[in-house]
Structure 1
Amino acid sequence: MNDSSKSPAQAWILLLLVALTWGTSFILIKKSLLTFSVTEVAAGRLFLASLFFVPIMVASRRQIPRDRFPYILVSALTGYIIPAFLFALAGTKLNSSLSGMLNSLSPLCTLVIGVLFFAQPRRPLQIVGILLGLLGSCFLIFSKGAGTLNVADPYAFLILTATLLYGININTISKHLSHLPSLAMTAWTFAFTGPISFIILFTTDFFPKITAVENIQPSATLLALGVIGSGLASVMFNRIVQLASGLFAASVTYLIPIVAISWGIFDGERISFQQYVGMGIILAGIYLVNRRERVTPDPVKS
């Protein structure tokens, strides 16, 4: 049963909570990488989240029709597995503030992919917004401030690739999965990520590290990143797609850079003026993309 007819206020509250959670995840990735490798952080957060969802998977096994599983697999790959590795690898070279800023391109990618592959309508203001967003990302990619990127740094493009994958995931959920219970859908998404993550982790030193007494703090950080950042936040995000729309859900990245910058400054990161300009241009572009977007329920899709 689709209960997306509830008050739009719920979507806004969830949007703020997801922004706070995902904005904090960049600094958690950075802290986790002090002990764990890129592979261990990426696969570890997904594996820990999948363990959290095991009881829910069992309880909701009859709530997901079999013909939806291919779409859930697509969602698992494009929304979780591949982006987790891209963000973890980028986190070895980029500061958390810049990662948060580049992630603001997610709504733009959602719109482009929706228009090209999911028959979503296009509007002139949205096209202008896309161009502004791309211009803003160029400001960030080619910035030369302290602790930022060199020209054409490939690590920035890892984040941009992740935002493209997020666009595929959001459109897939909106078109094919929005009628499913958000908690059950998220749990079964992690049913796919769990085994894949476990196989990857089995080839690393993850399990000896996470059980070592001297690694209690980084292990707790990674646990929070998995259960809260990848698990609970995903449930809330999928619920936003159901209550509002894919584009509105993607606009959570309005707020993520603010949270990421705040944590970055608190952690001693330096933010250049050029990065602030780039972030401002990106947010202006996203505003135009979503200008006519209203928080109203979508019809049931399958």
Structure 2
Amino acid sequence: MTKPFTKHAVSSPDAVFRSPVNRSLQAWLLLILVALIWGTSFILIKHSLTVFSAMQVGTGRIFLALVFFLPYLVVRWRQFPRSRWLPLLGSGMLGYLIPAVLFATAGAHLNSSLAGTLNALSPLFTFLIGISLFGRQAKTQQIGGILLGFAGSVFLVFFSNTGSFEFNGYAFLIVLATLCYGFNINIVARYLSDLPALLSTASTFSLVGPIALLGLATTDFPARISAPGSTPALLMLLTLGMIGSGFATILFNRIIQLKSGVFASTVTYLIPVVAVLWGLFDGEPLHWPQVAGMGICLLGVYLINKK
């Protein structure tokens, strides 16, 4: 006799997407996609700087991200979370505007591979800020994974340019940018994670986008756009802003919602792989310390997320 159908016999579609297994899989897939997008951003910064200044690249990509979100903001302006304006502004400044300018400034003096690998310091600062200011708890294994990733990052900082021991002072600007990222990830996880990812991201850029426009207005950006041969650099800057700072940020905030801020910050361990591959394609040299450093970083990712 056939068992009668009941409402409990088959899980609803919503239950399927809420299940821990599916949430974890979605988080990992989004993590890989964001790593691909952000890993490509360093080579885009490098070639954008052939026409535009560091200030123009940094502020321009943030303003273009605002342009990307503008249609959504116009339609949903009533839904802007006014009570969250302060964490939204803090997230926008620390997570996007300030790091964008710092990375562009450093990108004028570092190759894209090194800039991408230095990004892997973010999880360390995310962890330290989380436990010191936001009361986050950490397991011994998680601490070991983050420290291992940090060790791999330090290895890359000192060896990735030539294969010999050296240090570039502009690397400090990227370290400062990753410190900002650490604050931002904790702010999003603590104060904004309950907001829909699209609403949260669009609201953030609605606050910092006008600030970026003011910074851009102080430069000769219009003259550089109209200069002969500027089109390729302008297209790269558009990609940086709309895809790198716009679309990918939605995905990143969704990762924080699905898992945690620390898990989301591990995207910076995968970014160096993409950045180095783009560097090779662009003629930048690859030395064995880079390969070793990336391997150590990826082992840290495994330990951080191992059950």
TM-score, length basis structure 1: 0.89
Q: Does 1:60 align with 2:76?
A: yes
Show the counterpart of 1:296.
none
Name the amino acid aligned to 1:75: S
CA distance in 2, matches of 1:135, 1:156: 16
Show the counterpart of 1:297.
none
Matches within 5 A, 1:14-53: 14-53=30-69
Matches within 5 A, 1:87-166: 87-143=103-159, 145-146=161-162, 151-166=166-181
Which digits, 9 at most, give the CA deviation of each residue in 1:269-294, with x for residues without a partner? 002212222222233334323334xx
Counterpart selection for 1:12 from 16, 28, 43: 28
Asked if structure 2 preserves the Cα contact closer than 8 Å seen for 1:182 and 1:235, the reply is: yes
CA distance in 2, matches of 1:211, 1:51: 20
CA distance in 2, matches of 1:150, 1:203: 39
Show the counterpart of 1:188.
203
Matches within 5 A, 1:125-274: 125-143=141-159, 145-146=161-162, 151-212=166-227, 214-274=229-289
User: Tell me, which stretches of 5 or more residues in structure 2 are unaligned?
Assistant: 1-14
User: Tell me, which stretches of 5 or more residues in structure 1 are unaligned?
Assistant: 293-302
Asked if structure 2 preserves the Cα contact closer than 8 Å seen for 1:99 and 1:159, the reply is: yes
- Once the two structures are TM-superposed, the CA of residue 150 in structure 1 deviates from its matched residue by 7.0
Asked if structure 2 preserves the Cα contact closer than 8 Å seen for 1:143 and 1:274, the reply is: yes
Secondary structure in 2 aligned to 1:164?
helix
CA distance in 1, matches of 2:27, 2:227: 40
- Once the two structures are TM-superposed, the CA of residue 212 in structure 1 deviates from its matched residue by 4.1
Asked if structure 2 preserves the Cα contact closer than 8 Å seen for 1:141 and 1:149, the reply is: no
Name the amino acid aligned to 2:179: L
CA distance in 1, matches of 2:304, 2:236: 35
Counterpart selection for 1:277 from 273, 292, 299: 292
Name the amino acid aligned to 1:77: M
CA distance in 2, matches of 1:139, 1:15: 24
Asked if structure 1 preserves the Cα contact closer than 8 Å seen for 2:145 and 2:299, the reply is: yes
How many residues get paired? Answer: 289
Moved more, 86-95 or 11-20: 11-20
Name the amino acid aligned to 1:5: R
Moved more, 42-51 or 150-159: 150-159
- Once the two structures are TM-superposed, the CA of residue 88 in structure 1 deviates from its matched residue by 0.6
Secondary structure in 2 aligned to 1:119?
coil
Q: Say what the alpha-carbon RMSD is for the aligned residues.
A: 2.1
The sequence identity of aligned pairs, in percent, is 53
Asked if structure 2 preserves the Cα contact closer than 8 Å seen for 1:136 and 1:278, the reply is: yes
Show the counterpart of 2:4.
none
Secondary structure in 2 aligned to 1:214?
coil
TM-score, length basis structure 2: 0.87
Asked if structure 2 preserves the Cα contact closer than 8 Å seen for 1:108 and 1:289, the reply is: no
- Once the two structures are TM-superposed, the CA of residue 213 in structure 1 deviates from its matched residue by 5.2
Asked if structure 2 preserves the Cα contact closer than 8 Å seen for 1:145 and 1:274, the reply is: no
